[in-house]
């Protein structure tokens, strides 16, 4: 007979690997890797929404004084919060009764499930990697809210994190659509975008490009004999530099980067917010049987979102 506790093996195998799976999600995506490097992977323990506290105004009590001047102490309403819904994704891992019979013995079943879990992990990586660039409307509005919303093409319209961009200029990112970029014009466009995002010590620390924008930027460096392509960023991604930011290619095979776009990102103000109880774990460790099939299933699941506390520090450069 087949090994009797196969569903326990499936769930336990996922559970034993859940920390590794969750870690690999960030390692396999450039933006999430940089967010993690900033210490901005912050788990959510509960609540109906994910809240991101923001400072939207200066404290009006700040000012100059002399000697015994009275100092203002009026209450100041300078903090608020953006709100983000939980997005959920899952990948069921199944095994049929016939497969159990063909793989009799605990170790054989574990080997089979490991192979299927590798596919499930890759599928989940792809879901989240695509979601990183989304506007949150995919899959009927169930997708995570990614860069297409956080760093919008039209930053003065619509809402992000429940805040109306039209009413609050501080909540708008920078966005520029240029003439068709070439290797001779790209650095000028990048200089202008960069300058618009610098505030004191705050500046972009990573620039993510699709294949087209990466290609013309590389061509501009080669024309100046400034080769840096053989170096690797400390996080493991091939990179070149612009100012002191890493320029990362997220096009190529299987890339999800937005076409003809460069994102200038300050990951100090970007956060990956998985739920503490739903971060690449088995959805339910109990047995799940198909009602009318000889099969068992366990579900790898994730919940959370990507959030921002400072869209004004993010930029989007688009080539016509």
Q: 227-231, 235-239, 283-287: lowest mean pLDDT where?
A: 227-231
Residues 6 or more apart whose CB falls under 8 angstroms from that of 191 comprise none
Instruction: Encode pLDDT of 277-295 as tens digits.
Output: 999 888 765 556 667 888 8
Distance CA 119, CA 296 (A): 17
Say how far apart CA 50 and CA 308 lie, in whole Å.
Answer: 11
Q: Minimum mean pLDDT among 114-123, 227-236, 303-312: which range?
A: 227-236
What does the domain layout of the chain look like in residue ranges? 6-55+85-319
Which CATH number applies to 6-55+85-319? 3.90.1690
Q: Dihedral of CA 54/60/66/69: which sign?
A: negative
Q: Where are the beta strands (DSSP E) in 225-294?
A: 239-242, 245-249, 261-265, 270-282
Query: What does DSSP say about strands 163-164 and 159-160: parallel, antiparallel, or unpaired?
Result: antiparallel
Residue 120 or 296, more confident: 120
pLDDT at 79: 45
Alpha-carbon distance 25 to 106, whole Å? 28
Q: Are 278 and 89 in contact (CB under 8 A)?
A: no
pLDDT in tens, 52-76: 887 656 677 777 888 888 887 776 5
For residue 53, what pLDDT is reported? 80
**pLDDT per position as a tens digit, 101-158:** 777 766 676 677 777 777 888 888 889 989 999 999 999 999 999 999 999 999 999 9
What pTM does this model have? 0.83
């Amino acid at each position: 007979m087949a090994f009797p506790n196969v569903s326990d093996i499936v769930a336990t195998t996922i559970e034993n690997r859940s920390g590794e799976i969750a870690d690999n999600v960030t390692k396999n995506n450039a933006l999430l890797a940089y967010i993690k490097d900033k210490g901005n992977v912050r788990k959510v323990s509960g609540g109906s929404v994910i809240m991101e506290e923001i400072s939207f105004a200066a404290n009006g009590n700040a000012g100059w004084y002399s000697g015994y001047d009275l100092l203002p102490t009026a209450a100041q309403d300078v903090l608020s919060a953006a709100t983000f819904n939980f997005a959920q994704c899952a990948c069921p891992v199944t095994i049929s009764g016939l497969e159990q019979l063909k793989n009799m013995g605990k170790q054989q079943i574990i080997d089979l499930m490991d192979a299927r879990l590798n596919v499930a992990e890759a599928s989940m990586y792809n879901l989240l990697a695509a979601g990183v660039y989304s506007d949150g409307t995919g899959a009927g509005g169930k997708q995570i809210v990614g860069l297409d919303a956080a760093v919008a093409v039209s930053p003065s319209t619509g809402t992000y994190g429940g805040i109306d961009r039209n009413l609050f200029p501080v909540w708008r990112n920078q966005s520029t659509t240029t003439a068709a970029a070439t290797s001779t014009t790209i650095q000028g466009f990048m200089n202008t975008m960069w300058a618009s995002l610098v505030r004191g010590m705050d500046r972009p620390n990573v620039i993510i490009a699709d294949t087209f924008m990466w290609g013309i930027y590389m061509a501009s460096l080669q024309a100046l004999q400034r080769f840096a392509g053989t170096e690797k960023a400390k996080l493991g991604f091939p990179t070149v530099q612009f100012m002191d930011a890493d320029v990362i290619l997220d096009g190529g095979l299987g890339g999800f980067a937005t076409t003809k776009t460069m994102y200038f990102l300050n990951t100090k103000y970007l956060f990956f917010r998985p739920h503490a109880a739903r971060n690449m774990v088995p959805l339910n460790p109990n047995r799940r049987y198909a009602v009318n099939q000889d099969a068992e299933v366990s579900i790898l699941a994730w919940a959370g979102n990507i959030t921002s506390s400072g869209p004004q520090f993010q930029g989007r450069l688009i080539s016509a």
